[in-house]
Structure 1
Amino acid sequence: MKKTLWISLIAIFALVISACGKDTTAGSEGGSASTPASDQKGVITIGYQKGNTLNILKEHGNLDKALNEKGYKVEWKVFSTGTVLLEALNTNNIDFGHASDGNAVFMQAGGHPLNYVASESPYPEGVALVVKADSSIQSVNDLKGKTIGVTKGGNQHYLLLVALEKAGIDQKDVNIKFYKDAAEGLAAFTKDEFDVYGTWDPYLAIVENTVETRTIVNGTDNSENRTFYFATKDLLDQKSDVVTIILQELHNADLWANDNKQEISNILSTELGLDVEPIQKANDRRTFGVQEIDDTIIASQQKLADKFVEAGLLTSKISIKEAVNIDSSIIPSNVK
């Protein structure tokens, strides 16, 4: 095993431990200093996960400035997973946050109301099923009887289900083995506990940089692999102008990120405690940008939810459209 692989494993393990040990319901991180104006309208609390777009917005600082000028103070809270973040949103411990497509579906299926606000641009190349370079597996058609590692209900799990369906293979004809986090998954793959490893960026990029692999299939034409933005009903109903400013400044930060990917990689490398090289590789195949949720995006997210019902991961169907209630006037002019 290469020395760099052990370094990556240790870094990922440290990241997972530190994230899981974080008290996500108390305290704050970042934000602007209190001003007399900030005291007039109160605090807007934003939940984020390290390494994602709201993390970039926090580090860029443009939202803190914009809301401070309107009389608000921004408080940032970091969360280890999208599921925990959405739980905090549901209990009004935060006002605004983000989570993956899969996290959102499971939260809604659990009877928790969600308010979709916008979507990040699709990121299909950021999720993949890979094998070691010397594997006899050449395509999805070779997966029968093989052991495939994914996180339960994760973006790679959905990718696997879609790929199997396209190949005409029943999921019962493969051995799906669940791992709990990126550190466990990478360790199991290197020890040949999986024939095929499903993972996502930046951990996909780490695997590609430390193990000789081949990609069997990625999200292109299979999974949009989206991040969604959510807000509390109170924020949408009582402070819709704040939502508009958040989306506007989020998109501005995204556009800046597209033009400054090396700087973004350095920032996220520090935030995640990972080497900058795989972060750069992940960012190079990604386009940042906020999008208004239209019927096409709703249909894509509904397809994901229906697929998880079909696979037995969800017990009943849900309606994504019912959770997209945002007034189009709230969407800023720079978001399309």
Structure 2
Amino acid sequence: MDAHQPRHKRRLLLQGLAAGALASGTPLVRAAADKVLRIGYQKFNTLNILKGSGKLEQALQPQGWSVKWFEFAAGPQLTEALNANAIDLGHAADTPSVFANASGVNAVYLGAEQPYPKGIGIFVAQESPIRSVADLKGKKVATGRGWNVQFLLLKALEEVGLSYRDIEPVYVTNAADVRAAFQSGNVDAATLWDPFLAGQELATRPRILRDGTGLSNNRTFHLAVPSFVDRHKDIVRTVFAELKKTNQWTQSHPQETAELLAPQLGVDPKVLRLATERRNYTTVAVDAGIVAEQQQIADAFLKLGLIKNPVRVQDKVYPEVLV
């Protein structure tokens, strides 16, 4: 989803989010005594594993809190939900977080996960005559506005002396649309992130032209509504404490992690095993180096005119370390 889509489209999206929240029994305006932590997540992430374990619910129960989980197709939709106060916290990749910053989304960075460069990729069909990123000049490439793989595409083109304007981006809104465009032959190349990239690799054996190694750390960020954090720092600290325990277990149990997530996400365990094996599960505070990474992304998209407002990432980091 474009961070600068027309206002009426954004209004319709927020209305849809509101309707979804109300249908699930979760109002957008929280009652003063409502002790429900609303968490947004996407397929395959540390929050998925925490959800599957049930440990967060156990930890919060003595404090009288419960947890409601909401799945989103991608980071831009999740950050819009944060902005609409439909959820309290959630996670999004580096580029969707920057686009959210640029569009004025009311969210702050709380923590970051370790680099995951092999979890993103630009790929073509095995039989494609395209042999390298340089061969993408003038070609159609399926990607999404504000996606982590859009930044990878930008950097991969620069690496071989091309610019983003040298390709024809075909914008889609979710991973399913990427797969459909790729498999129909309507695009020459495509971009995906795990677990969808892993699923594509196992299903059609595409040729990976470039992953994020040396170009994009592909971090995931934990984001939250700042007013919620201000009021409930103890709850946020509990989330990260339980997340740390879950991450430690996950790091040494990749097969068990895949089996835990498979029924929850509706994804083949083989796909999750491939994605899990190339990932490091650790959540850390957002330090100066990570801020600099995010600032590079913001500056790159501003230079291209793909975001309209300059972003000072440091201003979006919560002032207290809660991880």
State the TM bucket, normalised to the shorter chain.
Answer: 0.7 to 0.9
Q: Structure 2 matches for 1:141-180, cutoff 5 A?
A: 141-180=134-173
Match of 2:194 among 187, 197, 201: 201
Task: Give the AA of the match of 1:123.
Answer: Y
Which range moved further: 317-326 or 85-94? 85-94
Shift of 1:21: 10
SS in 2 for 1:165: helix
**What's 2:47 paired with?**
54
SS in 2 for 1:163: helix
Please give the alpha-carbon distance, in whole angstroms, between the structure 1 residues aligned to 2:25 and 2:269. 26
Please give the alpha-carbon distance, in whole angstroms, between the structure 1 residues aligned to 2:177 and 2:68. 32
Please give the alpha-carbon distance, in whole angstroms, between the structure 1 residues aligned to 2:66 and 2:274. 35
Residues 79 and 105, structure 2, Cα contact 8 Å, conserved in 1: no
SS in 1 for 2:292: helix
Pair 1:257-2:245 in alignment: no
**What's 2:124 paired with?**
131
Residues 46 and 95, structure 1, Cα contact 8 Å, conserved in 2: yes
Residues 86 and 107, structure 1, Cα contact 8 Å, conserved in 2: yes
Distance 1:73 1:308, change over 3 A: same
**What's 1:65 paired with?**
58
**What's 1:94 paired with?**
87
Match of 1:306 among 299, 306, 319: 299
- The alignment of Structure 1 onto Structure 2 pairs a total of residues equal to 302
TM-score, with structure 1 as normaliser: 0.83
Q: Structure 2 matches for 1:1-336, cutoff 5 A?
A: 24-26=20-22, 27=24, 42-328=35-321, 330-331=322-323
Task: Give the AA of the match of 2:21.
Answer: T
> Matched residues, percent identical?
37
Distance 1:64 1:200, change over 3 A: same
Shift of 1:158: 0.8
Please give the alpha-carbon distance, in whole angstroms, between the structure 1 residues aligned to 2:307 and 2:124. 28
Shift of 1:23: 5.8
Please give the alpha-carbon distance, in whole angstroms, between the structure 1 residues aligned to 2:123 and 2:282. 27
Please give the alpha-carbon distance, in whole angstroms, between the structure 1 residues aligned to 2:239 and 2:149. 29
Shift of 1:87: 2.7
Residues 24 and 79, structure 1, Cα contact 8 Å, conserved in 2: no
**What's 1:34 paired with?**
none
**What's 2:10 paired with?**
none
SS in 2 for 1:25: helix
Please give the alpha-carbon distance, in whole angstroms, between the structure 2 residues aligned to 1:209 and 1:70. 44
Task: Give the AA of the match of 2:308.
Answer: T
SS in 1 for 2:21: coil
Please give the alpha-carbon distance, in whole angstroms, between the structure 2 residues aligned to 1:265 and 1:63. 19
Structure 2: which 5+ residue stretches go unaligned? 1-15, 27-32
Task: Give the AA of the match of 2:234.
Answer: D
**What's 1:15 paired with?**
none
SS in 2 for 1:74: strand
Residues 47 and 77, structure 1, Cα contact 8 Å, conserved in 2: yes
SS in 2 for 1:122: coil
Distance 1:238 1:205, change over 3 A: same
Please give the alpha-carbon distance, in whole angstroms, between the structure 1 residues aligned to 2:86 and 2:180. 35
Task: Give the AA of the match of 1:312.
Answer: G
Shift of 1:224: 1.2
Please give the alpha-carbon distance, in whole angstroms, between the structure 2 residues aligned to 1:23 and 1:253. 32
Residues 28 and 76, structure 1, Cα contact 8 Å, conserved in 2: no
Please give the alpha-carbon distance, in whole angstroms, between the structure 1 residues aligned to 2:41 and 2:313. 22
**What's 1:12 paired with?**
none
CA RMSD of aligned residues (A): 2.4
Please give the alpha-carbon distance, in whole angstroms, between the structure 2 residues aligned to 1:133 and 1:22. 43
TM-score, with structure 2 as normaliser: 0.86
